[in-house]
Chains A and B, each alone.
Chain A
Amino acid sequence: EAGVAQSPRYKIIEKRQSVAFWCNPISGHATLYWYQQILGQGPKLLIQFQNNGVVDDSQLPKDRFSAERLKGVDSTLKIQPAKLEDSAVYLCASSLGQGVYEQYFGPGTRLTVT
């Protein structure tokens, strides 16, 4: 079974530029998550999708971050404009559903904003 795929793996941009990350979850997984992991911290949930609907985006900085999951499969996370403090690893995870189901993580995208 293929795991969660993410691209790109690394990205370096200047502040005020825009960037987009892509995630392809495990086939059949209805729930998809985006997490932000700043160096030395545990991951923090940014947004959770159930199929193509948003379940929780309370910690997403909506003035600069946006995410979508068209057709309930792949998802993209966008930052525009980027700030220095957005430098982090962005992790995508998926699960069969909410609640008791295990989450599986992708390899992450390491973003550096200079």
Chain B
Amino acid sequence: KQEVTQIPAALSVPEGENLVLNCSFTDSAIYNLQWFRQDPGKGLTSLLLIQSSQREQTSGRLNASLDKSSGRSTLYIAASQPGDSATYLCAVRGGADGLTFGKGTHLIIQP
């Protein structure tokens, strides 16, 4: 059974810092990996989708990498801003199943 772990569970940094969120998964037989953002009381916003054949994806200040063989992904956020404060969720998709999510990293960017 696939398990997804996200480290750290919570992170608080001053505005302007570059930061890295980590995600690991136990079964490397995946179709893809998605990073989501969730604001309090809101649904999920997809940030980046990495197919299993890809190594990384970039969108603006966000860069996500995937090392399928080692079961790891990182989300890099450059020049963090207070508006980046949210919970970040990593999810993997294998076979015909839906997504398996981690518990998320709660990020606070201090002005």
Residues of A participating in the B interface, judged by any CB pair closer than 8 Å: 33, 35, 40-45, 48, 55-56, 91, 93, 98-100, 102-108, 110
> Are B32 and A100 in contact, CB atoms less than 8 angstroms apart?
yes
> Within the complex, what minimum Cβ distance (angstroms) separates A57 from chain B?
11
Q: Rank and list the top 5 A-B pairs by shortest CB-CB distance, nearest first.
A: A42-B101, A45-B98, A105-B44, A107-B43, A108-B43
Our pick among B32, B36, B101 for the contact of A44 (Cβ within 8 Å) is: B101
Residues of B within 8 A of A103 (CB): 34, 46, 93, 98-99
- Contact present for B104 and A42 (CB under 8 Å): yes
B residues sitting closer than 8 Å to A (CB atoms) are: 4, 31-32, 34, 36, 41-46, 49, 51, 89, 91, 93, 96-104
B41 contact set on A, CB distance < 8 A: 110
User: Is there an interface contact between B49 and A56, defined as CB atoms closer than 8 Å?
Assistant: no
A104 lies within 8 A of B31 (CB): no
Say whether, besides A91-B43, A91-B44, A106-B43, A98 and B102 are in contact (CB < 8 Å).
no
CB distance from A110 to the nearest CB of B (A): 7
Instruction: Find chain A residues with CB under 8 A from B93 CB.
Output: 99, 103
Task: List chain A residues, Cβ under 8 A from B32.
Answer: 100, 102
B31 touches A100 (CB 8 A): yes
Identify 18 new A-B residue pairs, CB closer than 8 A, beyond the known A35-B99, A99-B31, A99-B93. A33-B99, A42-B101, A42-B102, A42-B103, A43-B44, A43-B89, A43-B91, A45-B100, A48-B96, A56-B97, A56-B98, A99-B96, A100-B31, A102-B32, A103-B98, A104-B46, A106-B43, A107-B43
Question: Once the chains are docked, how many angstroms separate the CA of A110 from the CA of B40?
Answer: 12
Contacts of B96 in A (CB 8 A): 48, 55-56, 98-99
Give chain B residues whose Cβ lies under 8 Å from the Cβ of A40. 103
- A48 contacts B97, C-beta separation under 8 Å: yes
- Residues of B contacting A44 with CB < 8 Å? 101
Q: Which of A42, A104, A107 has the most CB of B within 10 A?
A: A42
